Amino acid sequence: MRQYETVETKETHRQIRKIICNKCGREIPVKDGRAQEDFLAVEKRWGYFSDKDNQVDSFDLCESCYDALVATFVIPLGEQE
Ligand SMILES: [Zn+2]
């Protein structure tokens, strides 16, 4: 989950104010609109062949919740360099 704030510099833009892991509720530190830890950001628009036609879901996971989630996979993650 991300919260944004409007920042006025030379150009007005939106930057990340807060990132909270949807699974554990821990706040991921943000400085000057940038996450200070890496995290998983998911956004999914469900299509016609689902029960959620055109619904957009999004969530963020901290690294430890990501690790816990993928550890439950029957088929392990593929690795790429
Ligand atoms: Zn978490």
Q: Where is pLDDT greater, at 6 or 39? A: 39
- Global pTM reads 0.79
DSSP the chain: -EEEEEEESSSEEEEEEEEE-TTT-PEEPEETTEESS-EEEEEEE--TTSSSTT-EEEEEEEHHHHHHHHTT-SSPPP---
pLDDT per residue over 35-56, tens digit each?
999 999 999 999 999 999 999 9
Task: Using the mean position of ligand 1's atoms as its centre, give its distance from the Cα of residue 6 in Å.
Answer: 26
Residues with CB under 5 A from ligand 1 (ion): 21, 23-24, 26, 62, 65
Q: Which amino acid, residue 52?
A: K
pLDDT per residue over 8-20, tens digit each?
877 888 899 999 9
Q: Delimit the domains of the chain by residue range.
A: 2-70
